[in-house]
């Protein structure tokens, strides 16, 4: 069957859905102010631009944690409110002010009384907030059951104790080359187990976590283990923690050890980083976290934090000079070489932070210093650790000013190289439904950060970049939203891949229109120009490196249609075109998918997707964010010619238990093998089966 026929069939599914909709019983009363926990479209918008496949990434973990432990808008501080995705600083401050002068909110929907909180913002944030003891707020869980929200969140089997257990097994069903040759000596299963507990006392909370994981091909079922114990809100101690944790301060220049939202279809509200300060670590990314102790002490408007860490990392050691030559971040310990570099380096870090909150003005200062067990002389392509020596340090100052509808924020940081990096931004709420942001960043080429993750074109690579970003968000008509940005950037100094200075720009226009509460259509246009080094053959048949401008255009069209309260259909078409100015190699591609989600019975729900893709090569690959087991962030990049489909089934017989399974398969047209090296699969099929269980007592 040709791809054209397949596309026509999928389009006809949507047309036929109009008839299906007429057959649905609409007589059931709709519960007002119901938060649908099975709706992920706003979370997808934030995560789909991370362009990674990450198991239990911290970014996803933070969103999942907020869904299970939403922020109480009657008690939360402004800092805690700002952690909520899509919540602006101006809105958070107005929530505090409203609460101060008018008393507590009676329901979540009451925040619509606040100037600047639109219906669109409310729909985006309602899953992450709560009003305790509200009589009109309800939630619908993944199986379609509706509960009073306060009962749903407090319905623990054990009084004052939250106990959560998560376990999953993932396995590729095709045998990769590494298992046949013996280079991968372990089993093909990727196994994960996590136990988290929290005791909610009258005057304090005590929490703990234990996580163990093994990647496919590893022999040790506890190849990675992580855990912590913490106490929260005990007198003047806001948090005290022993074990594994992360540190996120300011705008990421001085210290930021998890991912952050990048440029995407939300042009304004997500640009500002939202700090968790000291936060416990529950993920399985085996780098970029700390292991030791940390505490946050609060006195009136001031917070004082102290942290210490002594943690290992994977590295290749030059035995001649006893130096670190390369640092690895993948966490794989399958082959002999991967096992040899496990925990071969160590970093000892100590530091502190002071933070003052004066309402309209917040100021923070951070300092840390670290010592490495061996001299680090890394490969210059490893940007995160692009410094030489065995000592690193950082001093940073961050600020955040709110005046009426204006929010000025930024950070300046000085690294061990004595160079200063800076970022500053102004966000403006123009009118109700309209906002803008202007941002400037300057990261010197020899800033040489170690634990930084600043905003930029190379998101997280906080060096050798300066640029200006302008974003605008509008609601010109009822149901219509428009987001657009333009980012002009430059890399002033040569890099490992580019021998000279390069520059570029990035433009995006994203528009969404709600024909009704249940039917949304959207269009996204993105055009990026970026100078890159290419290897070409000259007139003397020699391979030489030349700078060429690469232009990539993406056009995305799609719709999201709720057939009923329990069924949804979604389709997307995306076209990509890559052009080079001087040396050829132009290529293109497209992707089309339709997915369908439904509550089959009161205990079983399902989601499925069918994808058709065709690209000239890897250069024009197209990404699609997928539904998966909880904790698994799948943003799959597809290239070549083929089809892909998956089915996710969720069975929730009890409020405290859920079983999830996913089968996915990718078929590649006209190939004899997929991937290469130890990951090579013979044949044209790459399929996987995942199964997981969640127990929430």
pTM beyond 0.95, yes or no: no
> Under a CB-based contact definition with an 8 Å cutoff, are residues 114 and 88 in contact?
no
Q: What is residue 256's DSSP assignment?
A: B
116 and 240 in a single domain? The answer is no
106 and 244 in a single domain? The answer is no
The pLDDT of residue 4: 42
Q: What is the mean pLDDT of residues 532-550?
A: 86
129 and 257 in a single domain? The answer is no
Residue 374 lies in a domain: yes
Residue 481 lies in a domain: no
What's the rounded Cα separation, in Å, for the pair 180 and 172?
14
Q: How far is CA 317 from CA 23, 160, 331, 371, 376, in A?
A: 67, 49, 16, 17, 9
Rounded to the nearest 5 degrees, what angle is found at the Cα of 306, between the Cα atoms of 304 and 310? 165
> Under a CB-based contact definition with an 8 Å cutoff, are residues 462 and 449 in contact?
yes
Strand (E) or helix (H) holding 5: helix 3-22
Q: What is the mean pLDDT of residues 594-611?
A: 92
- Count up the domains in the chain and report the number: 2
Render pLDDT for 311-327 as a digit per residue (tens, 0 to 9): 999 998 888 888 888 88
Render pLDDT for 174-209 as a digit per residue (tens, 0 to 9): 999 999 999 999 999 999 999 999 998 888 899 999
Render pLDDT for 434-490 as a digit per residue (tens, 0 to 9): 899 999 999 998 898 889 999 999 877 888 999 999 999 998 888 899 999 999 999
- Domain boundary among the residues 107, 133, 159 is at 133
81, with CB counted inside 10 A (0-12, 13-18, 19+), is: buried
Residue 670 lies in a domain: no
242 and 126 in a single domain? The answer is no
The pLDDT of residue 555: 97
Residue 671 lies in a domain: no
Q: Which residue has the higher pLDDT, 88 or 650?
A: 650
- Domain boundary among the residues 91, 109, 133 is at 133
112 and 243 in a single domain? The answer is no
Residue 356 lies in a domain: yes
Structure tokens at 626: 């997928």
Residue 528: pLDDT above 90? yes
Q: What backbone phi and psi angles, to 5 degrees, belong to 383?
A: -70, -35
Q: What is the mean pLDDT of residues 587-603?
A: 92
Rounded to the nearest 5 degrees, what angle is found at the Cα of 580, between the Cα atoms of 574 and 582? 165
> Under a CB-based contact definition with an 8 Å cutoff, are residues 108 and 126 in contact?
yes
The pLDDT of residue 155: 58
The pLDDT of residue 49: 64
Residue 227 lies in a domain: no
284 and 432 in a single domain? The answer is yes
What's the rounded Cα separation, in Å, for the pair 268 and 250?
18
Structure tokens at 519: 């039917």
Q: What would the DSSP string read from start to end of 60-122? A: HHHHHHHHHS-EETTT--HHHHHTSTT--HHHHHHHHHHHHHH---SSGGGGGGSTT--HHHH
Q: Which of 232-236, 420-424, 689-693 has the lowest mean pLDDT?
A: 232-236
- Domain boundary among the residues 101, 133, 165 is at 133
Residue 340 lies in a domain: yes
Q: What is the mean pLDDT of the chain?
A: 86
Residue 519 lies in a domain: no
What's the rounded Cα separation, in Å, for the pair 231 and 325?
39
CATH number at residue 62: 1.10.150.280
> Under a CB-based contact definition with an 8 Å cutoff, are residues 497 and 531 in contact?
no
> Under a CB-based contact definition with an 8 Å cutoff, are residues 612 and 589 in contact?
no
Strand (E) or helix (H) holding 4: helix 3-22
DSSP, collapsed to helix, strand or coil, labels residue 446 as coil
Q: How far is CA 465 from CA 424, 444, 445, 455, 494, in A?
A: 14, 7, 7, 10, 11
Its domain, for residue 117, covers: 35-133
């Amino acid at each position: 069957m040709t791809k054209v026929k397949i596309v026509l069939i999928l389009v006809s599914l949507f047309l036929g859905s109009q008839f299906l909709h007429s057959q649905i019983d609409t007589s059931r009363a709709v519960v007002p102010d119901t938060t649908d926990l099975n709706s992920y479209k706003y979370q997808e918008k934030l995560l789909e631009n991370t362009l990674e496949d990450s198991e239990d990434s911290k970014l996803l973990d933070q969103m999942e944690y907020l869904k299970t432990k939403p922020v109480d808008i009657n008690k939360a501080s402004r800092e805690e409110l700002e952690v909520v995705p899509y919540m602006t600083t101006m809105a958070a401050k107005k929530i505090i002010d409203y609460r101060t002068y008018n008393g507590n909110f009676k329901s979540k929907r009451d925040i619509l009384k606040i100037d600047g909180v639109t219906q669109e913002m409310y729909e985006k944030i309602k899953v992450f907030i709560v009003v305790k003891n509200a009589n009109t707020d309800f939630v619908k869980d993944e199986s379609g059951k509706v509960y009073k929200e306060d009962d749903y969140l407090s319905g623990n089997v054990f009084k004052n104790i939250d106990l959560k257990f998560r376990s999953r097994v993932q396995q590729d069903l095709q045998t990769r080359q590494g298992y046949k040759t013996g280079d991968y000596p372990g089993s093909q299963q990727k196994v994960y187990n996590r136990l988290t507990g929290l005791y909610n006392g009258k005057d304090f909370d005590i929490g703990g976590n234990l996580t163990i994981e093994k990647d496919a091909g590893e022999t040790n079922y506890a190849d990675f283990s992580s855990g912590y114990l913490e106490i929260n809100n005990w007198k003047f101690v806001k948090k005290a923690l022993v074990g594994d944790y992360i540190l996120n301060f300011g705008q990421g220049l001085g210290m930021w050890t998890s991912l952050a939202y990048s440029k995407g279809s939300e042009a304004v509200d997500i640009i500002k980083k939202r700090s968790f300060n000291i936060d416990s670590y529950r993920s399985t990314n085996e780098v970029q976290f700390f292991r030791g102790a940390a505490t946050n002490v609060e006195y009136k408007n001031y917070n004082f934090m102290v942290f210490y860490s002594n943690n290992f990392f994977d590295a290749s050691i030059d035995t001649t000079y006893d130096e670190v030559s390369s640092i690895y971040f993948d966490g794989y310990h399958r082959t002999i070489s991967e096992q040899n570099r496990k925990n071969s380096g160590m970093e000892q870090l100590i530091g502190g932070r002071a933070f003052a909150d004066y309402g309209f003005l917040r100021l923070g200062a951070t300092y840390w210093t670290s010592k490495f067990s061996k001299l680090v002389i890394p490969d210059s392509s490893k940007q995160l650790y692009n410094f030489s020596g065995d000592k690193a340090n950082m001093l940073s100052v961050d600020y955040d000013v709110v005046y009426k509808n204006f929010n000025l924020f930024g950070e300046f940081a000085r690294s061990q190289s004595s160079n200063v990096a800076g970022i500053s931004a102004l966000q403006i709420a123009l009118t109700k439904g309209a906002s803008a942001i202007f941002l400037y960043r300057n990261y010197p080429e020899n800033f040489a950060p170690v634990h930084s993750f600043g905003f930029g074109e190379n998101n997280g690579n906080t060096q050798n970049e300066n640029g200006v970003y302008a974003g605008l968000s509008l609601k010109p008509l009822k149901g219509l939203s428009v987001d657009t940005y333009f980012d002009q950037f430059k890399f002033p100094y040569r890099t490992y891949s580019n021998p000279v200075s390069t520059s570029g720009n990035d433009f995006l226009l994203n528009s969404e229109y709600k024909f009704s509460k249940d039917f949304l259509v959207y269009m996204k246009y993105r055009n990026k120009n970026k100078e890159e080094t290419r290897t070409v053959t000259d007139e003397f048949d020699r391979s030489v490196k030349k700078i060429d401008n690469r232009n990539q255009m993406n056009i995305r069209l799609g719709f999201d249609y709720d057939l009923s309260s329990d069924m949804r259909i979604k389709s997307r078409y995306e076209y990509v075109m890559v052009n080079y100015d001087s040396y050829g190699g132009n290529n293109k591609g497209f992707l089309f998918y339709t997915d369908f989600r439904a509550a089959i019975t009161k205990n079983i729900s399902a989601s499925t997707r069918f994808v058709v893709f065709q690209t000239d090569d890897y250069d024009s690959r197209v990404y699609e964010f997928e539904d998966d087991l909880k904790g698994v962030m799948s943003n799959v990049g597809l290239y070549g010619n083929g089809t892909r489909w998956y089915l996710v089934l969720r069975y929730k017989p009890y409020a405290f238990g859920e079983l999830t399974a996913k089968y996915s398969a990718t078929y590649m047209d006209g190939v004899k093998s997929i991937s290469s090296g130890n990951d090579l699969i013979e044949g044209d099929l790459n399929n996987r089966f995942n199964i997981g269980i969640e127990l929430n007592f």
